[in-house]
Amino acid sequence: MILNQRMKCLVSTQAVLLFLLLFSQLRADIALITASDARALIEHSEPSKRPIVLDTRGGYKDYFRSHIPTAHHLEFDTLRGTDRAVPVQYLPDDLTKALLIRAGVDRRRMHIVYATGASLPNDEILSTTMVVYVLEKFGVENIRIVDGGLAEWTRQGLPATQDYFGNPKGDLPRKGKPGIAASIEQVQAHVGRPSNLLVDARPLNEFRGEDDVWLRKGHIPGAISFHWARLMESENTHKFKPLSETKAALAAAGITPDQDIICYCGTSREGSLLYFYLKHVAGFPKVRLYEGAWKEYVWLQGKSLPAEVGGKAAGLQ
């Protein structure tokens, strides 16, 4: 009798947990999801209630080697291309919409997005946050990033596959959110005003101009440096530190909820991670991304826009 009661209690508890998980799927939100919760949704008994799964890795051979079951490969850089000489600019809206529809993005479904997790210099998580940013900009409101990515999925012993998976044609929201993007004109008007903050998410050496990457060296005058990797676990660059561990570092850097914040980086991937964390993990209300990023800034107006070199990481001694 006691055993039967325990079994009933266990079944009841599992039913409650499944209900809560399914309820979270129905709630429009952009957030993190654990690997185990993602698996439960992917394996839902009703196919119509399963999420759209997007693998954003840049290496197609990585997808061939192993991926999460039902993952559709949406290589992040298919959403960008050279425009007016500037490389890796976001594509025009009509092309982007066509690619998202082809990938099965659907306004009625949850989207689970992931890439690879590893230690630095691996930065595949940036492909995920960039795609999530694009989805949000085109009006998608129900998105989860697998915290820890494929590495965490594998570490937990969850099943992976080599089978291909293609989503049916998607259906985008009727209305997007273009306001989450900042133009160069908005960046220029933003800098130097009270309660405004411009944050450079690149490594400190690039912020300082000590690199062999960029056409011009340094950073946008008035920006502060906060490298995106400060928000991630060191042993897995796809796993986010909880806000309880980053709140003090953000505050020490002057990054607080009362600020009107624009994030940027080299090509907008690193900035997209900082944007995601501040807006969707920390809950900051006023955050935008300068899509053009440093690679656009250094080319504009005949390479004449001002740049600064040097500086230190905000909030660090």
φ and ψ of 202, to 5 deg: -75, 165
Residues designated catalytic: 265
Q: Are 311 and 225 in contact (CB under 8 A)?
A: yes
d(CA 68, CA 66): 7
Location of structure tokens 């500037």: 86
The number of residues making up the chain comes to 317
What burial class does residue 302 get, using C-beta atoms within 10 Å of its C-beta: 0-12 exposed, 13-18 middle, 19+ buried?
A: exposed
